[in-house]
């Protein structure tokens, strides 16, 4: 029998339907793989008992012919999603052992469709980071290694050598999918947190249009930018998962009342007759020749598949990242005001209520989170609000208008690189200057600022044998075109061979 952890979601679904194996066997195979991979630190909480109970229920439903769209499919859940009765921490000390008495809409939708929860996945604290190094649970180890690297799992199971980061903030999600520790994972993306780790790990990640997926029950970072989406091993699997995650929700007023298309059906549409835009402003100074070559290759693949390639201009691209570092921290400083040591999580006593707040928040938040709350507090403070926050929101309007003009000219989707480089080593970036780390999101952040959908698809390997991804940006609520074009890239590039276990 083939290794059940190496199936795609589509293959597992077919195998379960044909009764080639049971949901319980599928869950057990993953539980065993997770136990052997603890050195990667991808899961912060394993829930094997819950997985087996859910798998048993799935087997009963399959036997009765009542299987849901994801019946028996074992998934990992980013620890930003609140899961009823299962500790949810956002990888922050300040949430401590927060045990939600409710279920997020995204996870509720997945369980309603029959999915099985394997556990909660590591991430950057409050989703603030691009390398998973800001987690209160420690960094995630990427299953990828540079060619000739000396990284290994030592006798004690600890990692030896300078390992690579899986990207972030959804680093646990990307690492778990790439290391075959789940068939797919939930993730969230505020400035690139789905697409950048997907690109770093040779997996597929899609951030849907703002409003496609409910944010209810997902710990908030920057509410006008946050959107949940899946990370999976194929374009088709991402389409299957996104369909289950999406849909209207009365509990989130920004979640739209639109029917959810059959995303999987769009996978085989192809790109014949589509106009694909290539934005010249993404050709940044000092871009590595490898990324440039990958991008040119992507253009060629789409052209050969029948798409028309058009050079386009998005003139405000370079201002998206600095504007983001005003808007996102401003919203974060407001959202994270709720962590006060009173209603949940950590409390450090003080002589009065203000000292209780200040000591609790000093002890509970990590460095990156404090930094962003403080920047946000500053740009919203009296005397600076217009100069920073209002100006950034005006620039956001200009960024959105750039995209609107391009789409109004008949462009169906835009092709760009997903990241400016392949994965880097732990501790290599941002220790002296936080902006160095922020530059990881230079190609992805525009998409959040404009509320558009974006998908990252593996497209090749760099000279060191590490995966590189391409990004496709779509029109609002047209994820289907991204799945269609993403599949063309996946077909042309061939499925990336994921690393064999060395951990």
Considering the rule CB under 8 A, would residue 427 count as an interface residue with another protein? no
Shortest Å distance, C-beta 386 to another protein: 10
Mapped onto helix, strand or coil, the DSSP state of residue 116 is strand
CB of 107 to another protein, least distance (A): 18
- Choose between 173 and 190: whose C-beta lies nearer to another protein: 190
Which 3 state secondary structure label does DSSP give 153? strand
- In angstroms, the CA 131 to CA 148 distance is 22
The single residue among 123, 127, 219, 392 that binds another protein, judged by CB under 8 A, is 392
Q: For residues 240 and 254, give the distance between their C-alpha atoms in angstroms, rounded to a whole number.
A: 23
Residue 129 neighbours by CB under 8 Å, 6+ apart: 135, 168, 169, 368, 437
Q: Which is nearer to another protein, 342 or 463 (CB)?
A: 342
State yes or no: residue 394 binds another protein (CB under 8 A): yes
78 carries an active-site annotation: yes
Among residues 38, 14, 42, the alpha carbon closest in space to that of 26 is found at 14
Segment near another protein (CB under 8 A); pick from 173-181, 248-256, 306-314, 461-469? 248-256
Beta-carbon contacts of residue 369 (< 8 Å; ≥ 6 apart): 92, 125, 126, 128, 134, 332, 336
Sites for another protein among residues 23-42 (CB under 8 A): none
CA dist., res. 220 & res. 177, Å (int): 24
Does residue 56 carry a catalytic annotation? no
For the chain, the residue count is 503
Nearer to another protein, 87 or 310 (CB): 87
Catalytically annotated residue among 130, 142, 169, 214: 169
x-marked contacts with another protein along 82-101 as a string, rule CB under 8 A: ----------------xx-x
Residue with tokens 């087997």: 59
User: Three-state DSSP class for 60?
Assistant: helix
Applying CB under 8 A, does 383 fall inside the site for another protein?
no
Q: Is residue 434 part of the contact set for another protein (CB under 8 A)?
A: yes
Residue 94 · residue 138 · CB < 8 Å: no
Number of residues binding to another protein, judged by CB under 8 A? 72
- Residue 450 in contact with another protein, rule: CB under 8 A: yes
DSSP E strands: which ranges in 174-263?
A: 184-189, 204-207, 227-232
Q: From the candidates 78, 120, 207, 429, which is the catalytic residue?
A: 78
Task: Answer yes or no whether residue 433 interacts with another protein by CB under 8 A.
Answer: yes
Site string for another protein, 188-227 (x = CB under 8 A): ---------------------xxx------------x---
Among 319, 405, 420, 464, binds another protein (CB under 8 A): 319
> Hey, which residues does 468 pair with through a beta bridge?
460
**CB of 451 vs another protein, minimal distance in Å:** 3
Question: Residue 435 and residue 196: Cα distance in Å, rounded?
Answer: 16
Identify the active-site residue in 193, 244, 246, 333.
Answer: 193
Can you tell me the distance from the alpha carbon of 389 to that of 222, in angstroms, rounded to the nearest whole number?
14
| Residues within window 355-374 making contact with another protein, judged by CB under 8 A | 355-359, 361-362, 365, 370-371, 373-374
Q: Is 350 in the site for another protein (CB under 8 A)?
A: yes
Residue list 462-491, contact with another protein (CB under 8 A): 476
Query: Is residue 49 a contact residue for another protein (CB under 8 A)?
Result: no
Strand partners, 188: 228
- Catalytic status, residue 36: no
Peptide bond into 169 cis (omega under 30): yes
Q: Are β-strands 413-417 and 74-78 bridged in parallel, bridged antiparallel, or unpaired?
A: unpaired
Residue 338 is a binding residue for another protein (CB under 8 A): no
Considering the complex, state which of residue 208 and residue 298 has its C-beta at the smaller distance from another protein.
208
Our CB check for another protein shows the closer of 32 and 250 to be 250
Comparing C-alpha atoms, which of 490, 443, 402, 414 is closest to residue 291? 443
Residues that are catalytic: 78, 169, 193
């Amino acid at each position: 029998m083939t290794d059940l952890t190496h199936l795609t979601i589509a293959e597992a679904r077919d195998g379960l339907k044909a009764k080639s194996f049971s949901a319980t066997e599928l869950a057990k195979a993953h539980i065993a793989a997770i136990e052997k991979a603890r050195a990667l630190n991808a899961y912060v909480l394993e829930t094997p008992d819950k997985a087996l109970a859910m798998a048993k229920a799935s087997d009963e439903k399959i036997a009765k012919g009542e299987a849901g769209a994801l019946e028996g499919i074992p998934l990992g859940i980013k620890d930003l999603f609140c899961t009823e009765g299962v500790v949810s921490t956002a990888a922050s000390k300040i949430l401590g052992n927060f045990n939600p008495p409710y279920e997020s809409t995204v996870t509720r939708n997945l369980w309603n469709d029959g999915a099985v929860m394997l556990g909660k996945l590591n991430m950057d604290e409050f989703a603030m980071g691009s390398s998973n190094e800001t987690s209160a649970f420690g960094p995630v180890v990427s299953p990828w290694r540079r060619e000739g690297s000396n990284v290994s799992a030592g006798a004690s199971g600890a990692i030896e050598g300078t390992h690579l980061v899986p990207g972030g903030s959804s680093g646990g999600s990307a690492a778990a999918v790439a290391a075959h520790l789940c068939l797919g994972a939930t993730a969230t993306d505020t400035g690139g947190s789905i697409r950048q780790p997907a690109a770093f790990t040779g997996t597929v990640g899609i951030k849907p249009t703002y409003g496609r997926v409910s944010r209810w029950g997902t710990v908030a970072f920057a509410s006008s930018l946050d959107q949940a989406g899946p990370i999976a091993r194929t374009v088709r699997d991402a389409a299957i998962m996104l369909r289950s995650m999406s849909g209207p929700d009365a509990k989130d007023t920004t979640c739209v009342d639109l029917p959810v298309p059959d995303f999987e059906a769009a996978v085989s549409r192809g790109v014949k007759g589509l106009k694909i835009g290539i934005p010249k402003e993404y050709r940044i100074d000092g871009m590595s020749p490898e990324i440039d070559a990958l991008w040119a290759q992507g253009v060629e693949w789409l052209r050969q598949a029948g798409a028309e390639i058009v050079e386009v201009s998005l003139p405000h691209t370079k201002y998206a990242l600095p504007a983001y570092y005003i808007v996102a921290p401003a919203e974060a400083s407001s959202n994270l005001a709720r962590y006060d040591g009173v209603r949940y999580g950590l409390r450090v006593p003080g002589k009065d209520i203000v000292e209780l707040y200040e000591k609790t928040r000093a002890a509970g938040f990590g460095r990156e989170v404090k930094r962003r709350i403080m920047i946000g507090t500053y740009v919203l403070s009296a005397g600076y609000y217009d100069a920073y926050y209002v100006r950034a929101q005006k620039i956001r309007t200009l960024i959105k208008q750039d995209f609107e003009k391009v789409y109004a000219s008949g462009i169906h989707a835009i092709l760009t690189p997903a990241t400016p480089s392949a994965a880097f080593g732990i501790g290599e970036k941002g220790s002296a200057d936080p902006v160095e780390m922020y530059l990881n999101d230079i190609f992805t952040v525009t998409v959040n600022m404009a509320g558009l959908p974006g998908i990252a698809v593996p497209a090749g390997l760099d000279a060191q044998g590490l995966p590189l991804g391409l990004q496709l940006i779509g029109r609002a609520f047209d994820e289907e075109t991204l799945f269609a074009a993403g599949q063309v890239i996946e077909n042309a590039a061939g499925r990336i061979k994921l690393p064999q276990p060395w951990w």
